[in-house]
Amino acid sequence: MYLGIFRTLGLRGLKRDTKWEEWHKYTDPQAKYNGEVGSIEGIRFIETNHARALGKIGTSSVLGEGVVFGEDGVALAEAMTPELRAAIPQDFGRSRAVAWYGILEFDIIWDTGNAGEARIVHVSST
């Protein structure tokens, strides 16, 4: 199973497809409302709206950016498991804060684009 993360514009064409809408009307009626697309051709599609991560490349307005990850596209090293930490209240108890804290490192395993070795594919339009 592959994982595809796409910008809203990249998945809009799929969600507007009448066959997709008809299928999800009975199987998962909340899918369109929740921004979910589902799995197509062995790729699980996830929608994101993070403009700094994925945007629109080129002059076309047809396709937004996306990234498809293979089975071993990214490795994770976890030095400290993320945990939720609370700050000491300040300003006589009127100011409070919580934050996630952890030490993680991510890196790609295969950094080549040779046939049979590419594990991450960037999808865009021109």
Q: What is the spatial distance between Cα 40 and Cα 110, in angstroms, rounded to a whole number?
A: 25
**More reliable by pLDDT, 54 or 109:** 109
Is the pLDDT confidence value at 14 over 80? no
Biggest distance spanned by C-alpha atoms of the chain: 62
Residue 93 neighbours by CB under 8 Å, 6+ apart: none
Tell me the mean pLDDT in the region 3-31.
80
2 pLDDT above the threshold of 70: yes
| CB-based burial, 107-122: b 16+ in 10 Å, e otherwise | eeeeeeeeeeeebeee
Instruction: Share the mean pLDDT of the chain.
Output: 82
pTM score = 0.65
Mean pLDDT, range 71-80, rounded to an integer? 90
Please state, as a whole number, how many other Cβ atoms lie within 10 Å of the Cβ of residue 5. 19
Annotated domain spans of the chain: 1-73+110-126, 74-108
Q: What is the pLDDT of residue 19?
A: 84
| 101/9: higher pLDDT | 101
What pLDDT does 72 receive? 83
Instruction: Give the pLDDT score at 83.
Output: 96
Using the predicted structure, report yes or no on whether residue 34 has a pLDDT greater than 80.
no
Angle between helices 18-27 and 8-15 (to 10 degrees): 80
Q: How confident is the model at residue 65 (pLDDT cuts 50, 70, 90)?
A: confident
Paired sense of beta strands 98-108 and 120-123, if any: unpaired
30 and 40 Cβ atoms separated by less than 8 Å: no
